[in-house]
Structure 1
Amino acid sequence: MSSWRRYAPSVELDVRHLRVLCAIADNGSMRKAALQLGMTQPSLTTQLHRIERSIGGELFTRERTGSRPTALGHSVLSRARPIITEMAALVTAARHEAGGAEKRRLRIGSVGSRAVAAWLRRVHERLPDTDTTIHIDISANALLRMVAANQLDIAFVHESEGFPLRVPADAEHRVLLAREPQFVALSVGHPAAALSVVRLADLADDTWMVDPTADHEYAAMRRVFTEAGLNPRVVQVRDNATAAELVASGEAVRPCQPTSVAAAGTVVRPVHGDPLAVRLLLAWRPRALSAAALDALYTDLRSAYLDLARVNPTYLAWLLRNNRTLHHLLGPLRR
């Protein structure tokens, strides 16, 4: 052991230090953990060194691909996570008790979806005296971590096929839709725009776009292309407005939710065989919601989602063709 580790003064660990360790483990990267914690990377590195000196051993190995817990790190993390969860629960309970007659709070998280606004409207109408907040994040895993840390009560997330989400051990989940196809947005001037259903091969020479902050979207797309024997160019674009303009100009195509409304100069088409698909889930901590409250939130979201399907003939036809259990929920088709 080097002298700086043997003789450097230790620090007294507290919950903040444990959150640092969990952030590094969850993100697998010092840079991403620093962004999550609102710190600079050098400051986070210094903090980690102090924690390791206090404990007396390395907690993470630094590799080119990221930071990974050592055996000691895994041991510390297994004890740190329950402490963080219980501390968050303690603070929440204490605030609720101190607030007395204050409004009940409901903290909802969601990935981007057109169903969110209608979901919230239903929740507000049903719970007018509840202080309901919404947190939107493109990363489903980030939302699940917030559920585990008691920063959210419930989260609506999606999971790319072949890339399971890391659902926290102390969280539960319910499937809203086992398989939601991803359609594709392309320019109205694209040759495939005249088709009612496009094939991947029709877009093999196009540039595809993905959002690099979306969990596994790039990897899932690459897997689908490889299985189809294709190798189109894929670029990563974070800004939705820029992405929409690139599609409209014919510079690129991109996957989109089947409930999406085509932007100006674009069309939205299903993809033959539905190779790009996700699973829609609700995740929550059992202690955060009663069974009755959960059932009501699930019903609100399902109703909001199905209302979008009713006014989208292409997606409605897909749902009725592939999900027979939805027939009694959707009712007669509206003309």
Structure 2
Amino acid sequence: MNLELRHLKVVCAIAETGSVTKAASTLGLAQPALTAQLQRIERTLGGPLFERDRRGARPTALGELVLARARVLLPAMKGLQDEAARLAGAVDAPRRYRFGGVNSPILGRLVHRLAAEQPQAQITTYASWSVDELAQLVAGGRLDFALAGVCGDSTPPTESGLGWREVAVDPVGVLLPERHPMAGRDEVGLVDLGREQWVAAPGDGCFGDCFAAACARAGFTPRKVFETDIRAGFDLVEAGVAVALCQATFRPVAGLVTRRLAGSPLRWRLMLGWHPDSPAADVADLVLEAAVASYTDSLAAHPDYQAWLTRNPEFGVRLPAPVPPIPGTGVRTA
């Protein structure tokens, strides 16, 4: 048997988890199958890689040697794959735009605008609830741009070397059924919703923590939070089971109303991210301009909010504000 990278991943998984059983679960394999694979690897390398007993699996001297090499080879191969993907993207024609979005309110408008301006362009989209996943896909050359939101002044993930620019910032509102006692107000105090149940979309961002902190400042702890997709969230709100936080430019839905939270205790910044060394960087300014225009177009369905923005210039489209350089890398994110 020839040793392959997948075999090195097996050895690393066992070492990191300290157990063949745990490694099998992590790799999505049956424990007997992983044990048999480890035995084949050990035969190929000429000796046992782990000492195994009831306390788990610990690397032998040979195992330590293999692990030391694997921890160099595996990241190097990952880097090669990422660079190759970015280089391949550089020679593609016609122009390609691959977008990833996390519950983005403007992705559809952005795709429509770019398709109208560049009919020959190849445009694809990918949806995920995870900002981290999208950042990794962009860093790996599998996506060109990520559209994601962050709470308040938080910074999107920069560990993968991505640069981020702000498209717009909005106050977070609340989605209520039309028959709700507070549906007739222009604004609703967060404290007035202290007895409500809530709907939340899944995700790995900081918004849940920001929401909990805002509720604490208002003097209450939120009751039950239902984590669900958007369609089911509509149903829960319409049925009067819960209320939902929503973006100010949320598309109107029959039977539901969007109301601002008094004092704007929560803010949502829509961000566009890309890798500065990718071909996407060459058109990033163009895409950012199209994203801002798409956001502006979305305001047409919300004349009251448009008027509110004129009185509150700290919201909406603001002057460009690059995210600071990534410490220790020299990479500027704008």
Among 152, 158, 163, the residue aligned to 1:167: 158
Deviation at 1:80, TM superposition (A): 5.0
1-structure distance, mates of 2:125, 2:314: 32
Residue 97 of structure 2 is aligned to residue 106 of structure 1? yes
Tell whether the 8 Å contact from 1:261 to 1:268 is kept in structure 2 after alignment. Answer: no
Q: Is the 8 A contact 1:170 1:285 kept in 2?
A: yes
Where relative contact order (Cα < 8 A, 6+ residues apart) is larger, the structure is 2
Q: Does the 8 Å CA contact 1:210/1:234 hold for their aligned counterparts?
A: no
Distance 1:318 1:139, change over 3 A: farther
Larger Rg belongs to: 2
**Residue 248 (str. 1) matches residue 242 (str. 2):** no
How many pairs align? 290
1:13 matches 2:1: no
Q: Distance in 2 between matches of 1:314 and 1:292?
A: 37
Instruction: Name the CA distance, whole Å, in 1 between partners of 2:80 and 2:7.
Output: 11
Q: What RMSD in Å do the two structures reach over aligned CA positions?
A: 4.1
Identity %: 25
Q: Which residue identity does 2:206 align to in structure 1?
A: H
What is the aligned partner in structure 1 of residue 28 from structure 2?
A: 40
After TM superposition, the structure 1 stretch with the greater mean CA deviation from structure 2, 300-309 or 140-149, is 140-149
| Residue 41 to residue 141, structure 1, CA distance change in 2 (3 Å) | farther
- Report which stretch shifted further, 88-97 or 243-252: 88-97
Whichever residue aligns with residue 123 of structure 2, its letter is: T
Find the partner of 1:130 among 97, 121, 144: 121
Q: Is the 8 A contact 2:86 2:279 kept in 1?
A: no
Mapped partners of 2:258, 2:273: distance in 1: 29
Q: Report the Cα distance in structure 2 between the residues aligned to 1:78 and 1:227, rounded to whole angstroms.
A: 48
5+ long unaligned stretches in structure 2: 17-21, 51-66, 320-334
Is 1:201 the equivalent of 2:195? no
Contact 1:186/1:266 (<8 A) preserved: yes
Question: How far did 1:96 drift?
Answer: 6.7
Deviation at 1:79, TM superposition (A): 7.7
Deviation (angstroms), 1:94: 4.8
What is the TM-score normalised by the length of structure 1? 0.72
2:77 is aligned with 1:89 = no
Task: Say yes or no: does 1:141 pair with 2:135.
Answer: no
Cα deviation code 1:233-285 (max 9, x no counterpart): 13233232221111112111010111112322211100011112222211111
| Alignment map for 1:177-256 (pairs within 5 Å) | 177=168, 179-213=169-203, 215-256=205-246
Farther off after superposition, 199-208 or 315-324: 315-324
1:124 is displaced (CA, Å) by 1.2
The whole-number CA distance in structure 2 between the counterparts of 1:162 and 1:216 is: 11
- In structure 2, what is the equivalent of residue 314 of structure 1? 304
TM-score between both structures, scaled by the size of structure 2 = 0.72
- 1:224 is aligned with what amino acid? A
Unaligned runs of 5+ in 1: 1-8, 25-29, 58-72, 330-335
CA positional deviation for 1:227: 2.0
Partner of 1:284: 274
